[in-house]
Structure 1
Amino acid sequence: MLRRDTQFDVRYVAAPKLLKVITPEELIEKGARVCAGQADFDDLILWMGTGNNYHHEQLMTLPVGGFLFQELAPQYSACGATILASPRDPEVVQPGDVIAVSPDTNVVRVVYRRGANSNLLFMTDRCNSLCLMCSQPPKEVDDRWHIDENLSLLDLIDPGSEQLGISGGEPTLYRDGLLAIIRHAAATVPEKALHILSNGRLLSDASWIADLKRLNHPNITWGIPLYADNAKDHDEVVNAPGAFAETMAGLYNLQRAGQRIEIRMVLSKLTVARLPEWAHYVFRNLPFTHHVALMGIENTGLAKKNYAALWIDPADYQIQLASAAHFLDIRGLTVSVYNLPLCVLEPTLGRFYRQSISDWKNLFIDTCQSCSAKQACAGFFKSHSTRWQSRNIHPLSPKELETLQGAPYEVA
């Protein structure tokens, strides 16, 4: 499990900037073509490795934007390019990553990780809801700078097929910026699927339909949460009166705009009792849904504050979960179960299970070490505590694992 940032000795950074970490071999083979979009040598920072001093001196004559050392030799300190050296955690930044540097801090953020299963474009800390289980409580700030950063990031990431998330906060709060990012993604990395997380409320404005129809991206999915089959319960979960009606209107507008839709349900004490009724509601009212995601709760952010209202042992809602999943599956909707340890599932749910927790967020506790399912299980969020742990956590034997059917690797 890797963090997304670490401290460096940072020198010669004049302004906030994104840089693509590249090895000398990649530079020789591809140059700036290692990036998916428009980039030049000034956008690259060269990974210096642990070569000898003469080798480093030769490399530092190259006209790149910077040089990254695991250690810093004194004779290189007068170089005019950006220098990053002596990372506190040398595992965090690796070749292929895109990093954010700033003159105001010695913290270097990884904003894109080569080979990760959870790369996303973060839009904003703002949100127009206040969900009881929000893992990242919203802030009332003007952070439109994320728009320009994401547009630059799309140019620097690796080419090739993968899924990119777009998330917040609520991305639709910056409507023009979101549309610009989707357009730029279509032009730069059309081979990459986009998965946009939104509460759908602002999409109730019908003028979105024309804007979305004009987008020329071949593969977008909108992940929209619907926490109940009725307005009272949904609005209680998201702490916003009128949200249910707005979200439903937004879903219908997405359908009119020809968008692919995923309905998301976070499983908690407030939502699981009516899961079968909720599944019926989704099928009757949103039959155009492409995917239904049934998700365990992430025990961080506001979820900690609202523990008493939210926590229910997953062992106690397996009947309702199985009823909802099988009901939707039989009727042709694709269903996935996310963010729960495999050992707590009712066995027939194994075919819906996804190893979903992002690679930089997940962990396995001591009980898991002898489990036969570690390679297939999502494990726990790094925020895990025994307070949020099911009584049914146990190592699965090979025979128990045989009763569960595997499923493709996906990210929640």
Structure 2
Amino acid sequence: MASSSVTERPSLCWLPGLTMLRLDTHFEIQNVATPKLFKVITPEEFVSKGTGSCAGEASFYDLMLWLDESSTGNLEQWLSVPVGGFLLPSYPDELVSVSATVLTNPKDPLVVQPGDVIAVSPGSKVVRVLYRRGANSNLLFMTDRCNSLCLMCSQPPKDIDDRWHIDENLKLIDLVDRGAEQLGISGGEPTLYREGLLAIIEHAKNVVPEKSLHLLSNGRLLSDSTWITDLQIVNHTNLTWGVPLYADNAADHDNVVQAPGAFSETMAGLYNLQRAGQKIEIRMVLSKLTTGRLPEWAHFVFRNLPFVHHVALMGIENTGLAKKNYDQLWIDPADYQAELNNAAFFLDIRGIAVSIYNLPLCVLDPVLGRFYRQSISDWKNLFIDACQSCAATHACAGFFKSHSTKWQSRNIHPLSVDDLKEMQGAPHETA
């Protein structure tokens, strides 16, 4: 039963050098006839690279020039360049004769920056950022549909036909930057659009082979063995599947995902991924329903899925369905440190890589610091006032932007430099 108590919001803060930016904002928008993606670049990048600023096939009409105050002296000249659009801080008189798409007067001028890939649609003032240059959390979003209904789902599924995301993602891959980085693929459940997903994986392999792909899936539809051949044909060697397994038994797992038979389907899907030669990450969201048998779960993973290359133990994101199911899910992380310690070290000493995601560093047993990752995506990451004097903010995941005191551990406290020295930090990964 969901809790009916009033949620108290803590005092939030954005510490120096740490910025939480939205992935959309409002603009005044002119000349948009159809949905369109643009790569935003400066005049300097346009002159030096042109369409070479994009990883794949692109034309000048896929580019949007970023014309800030430094460009006003040559504004008329820049507005004559045959590109797809222009982004300006305000609406000057010279725009009267421009037929290209024009974005002006942003509600938040920091949201869209040079290097970003944005999406605009007719009849809407909302500009979505689909790719942010330098971000740690760029994502190819597949669908809002899902065949499970997890109790802690941060983005409750919708029963809609949103296949248009497939073409959007294929175009997005063409417009991103070249260079090594990770691109996520998520939903919803991406495998619901099987042919589209395979096309996206193959296109990414051909256009940006240097980028790793991390694909989140519940694995249920992968129980169909015909996926094995399809994945072998695509043969993306830099792809990892992140698949959640919430228990060492069917009853508990199926309860968490609210889908009878899901445990058997996911296990079959994991074995099919292994047969297809795929890299596999097992994901566990830490809650009241999952932490009690965490050591037994770790034994199950080692004995039944010894081929997995990584296990992610993840704090819960307190949004979406998690808020509705608070009473079933919430457990103070301070109360499952023994189980977390047992599971993490059991897997680690047996050669399975382990990471701990989405928890504030101060709630962990210091011996678990070696497994810790600064994991929360930059666009939804924040710190609270209690973090102001903490020495670990550069290494800590902090909190989700949906954080409230209702979901806050009693062990939240600032760490000193000496405290931090007890923990071994780890590279930046997103979850």
Same fold? TM cut 0.5:
yes
Q: In the alignment, does 2:203 pair up with 1:184?
A: yes
**Structure 2 runs not aligned, ≥5 long:** 1-19
> Which piece of structure 1 moves more, 313-322 or 395-404?
395-404
- Higher alpha-carbon deviation: 51-60 or 288-297: 51-60
- Residue 20 and residue 334 in structure 1: after superposition, are their counterparts in 2 closer, same or farther (change >3 A)? same
Q: Does 1:261 align with 2:303?
A: no
In the alignment, what sits opposite 1:128? 147
CA distance in 2 between partners of 1:294 and 1:216 (Å): 28
Equivalent residue in structure 2 for 1:370, among 353, 365, 389: 389
Q: CA deviation at 1:350?
A: 0.1
Question: Do residues 294 (structure 1) and 340 (structure 2) align?
Answer: no
In 1, are the aligned partners of 2:140 and 2:184 still within 8 Å (CA)?
Answer: yes
Q: Distance in 2 between matches of 1:216 and 1:173?
A: 20
Which of 16, 21, 24 is residue 43 of structure 2 equivalent to?
24
- Over 4 Å off, 4+ runs: none
Letter in 1 for 2:410: R
2:361 is matched with 342
In structure 2, distance between residues paired with 1:279 and 1:361 = 29
Q: Separation in 1 of the partners of 2:235 and 2:83?
A: 34
CA distance in 2, matches of 1:409, 1:265: 19
Aligned partners of 2:145 and 2:96: how far apart in 1?
40
1:217: Cα distance to partner? 1.6
**Cα distance in 2, alignment partners of residues 346 and 280 from structure 1:** 21
CA distance in 2, matches of 1:83, 1:161: 31
Residue 402 of structure 2 corresponds to residue 383 of structure 1: yes
> Counterpart amino acid of 1:365?
I
Q: Give the conservation status (yes or no) of the 8 Å contact 2:76–2:94.
A: no
Instruction: Give 1:408 shift.
Output: 1.0
Shift of 1:52: 5.5
1:44 lines up with 2:57 in the alignment: no
Q: Which amino acid aligns with 2:178?
A: P
Q: Which has the higher contact order (CA 8 A, sep 6+)?
A: 2
1:402 Cα deviation (Å)?
A: 1.0
Could you tell me which residue of structure 2 aligns to residue 4 of structure 1? 23
Q: For 1:7-406, list aligned pairs within 5 A.
A: 7-51=26-70, 53-406=72-425
Please list every run of 5 or more consecutive structure 1 residues that lacks an aligned counterpart in the other structure: none
2:6 counterpart residue number = none
Shift in Å, 1:76 = 1.3
The letter for the 1-side match of 2:356 is V
2 CA distance for matches of 1:187 and 1:103?
31
Aligned-partner Cα distance in 2 for 1:104–1:220: 37
Deviations 1:289-311 (A, max 9, x none): 00000000000000000000000
> Using the alignment, how far apart are the partners of 1:357 and 1:267 within structure 2?
15
Q: What is the CA-CA distance between 1:100 and the residue it aligns to?
A: 0.1
State the Cα distance separating 1:398 from its structure 2 match. Answer: 1.1
1:172-198 Cα offsets, whole Å, 9 max, x none, are 000000000001001100000000000
How high is the sequence identity, in percent, across the aligned residues?
Answer: 74
The answer for the alignment partner of 2:5 in structure 1 is none
Alpha-carbon distance in 2 for matches of 1:70, 1:356: 33
Counterpart residue type for residue 78 of structure 2: L
* Contact map agreement 2:62 2:83 (CA 8 A) in 1: yes
Looking at structure 1, the residues matched to 139 and 226 of structure 2 have their Cα atoms a distance apart, in angstroms, of 26
Structure 1: distance between partners of 2:385 and 2:329: 25
- Provide the C-alpha distance between the structure 1 equivalents of 2:120 and 2:145, rounded to a whole number of angstroms: 23
Alignment partner of 1:51: what SS? helix
* Equivalent residue pairs, number: 412
2:147 aligned counterpart, secondary structure: coil
Q: Write out per-residue CA displacement over residues 240-265 of structure 1, whole angstroms, 9 at most, x where no aligned residue.
A: 00000000000000000000000000
2:201 maps to amino acid: I
Q: 2-side partners of 1:407 and 1:33: how far apart?
A: 34
Q: CA RMSD in A?
A: 0.7
Mean CA deviation greater in 50-59 or 354-363: 50-59
What secondary structure does 1:360 align onto?
A: helix
Letter in 1 for 2:248: D
**Structure 2 CA distance for aligned equivalents of residues 106 and 58 of structure 1:** 27
Q: Given that residues 144 and 159 in structure 2 are in contact (C-alpha distance below 8 angstroms), is that contact kept between their aligned partners in structure 1?
A: yes
Amino acid of the residue matched to residue 309 of structure 1?
Q
CA distance in 1, matches of 2:226, 2:96: 55
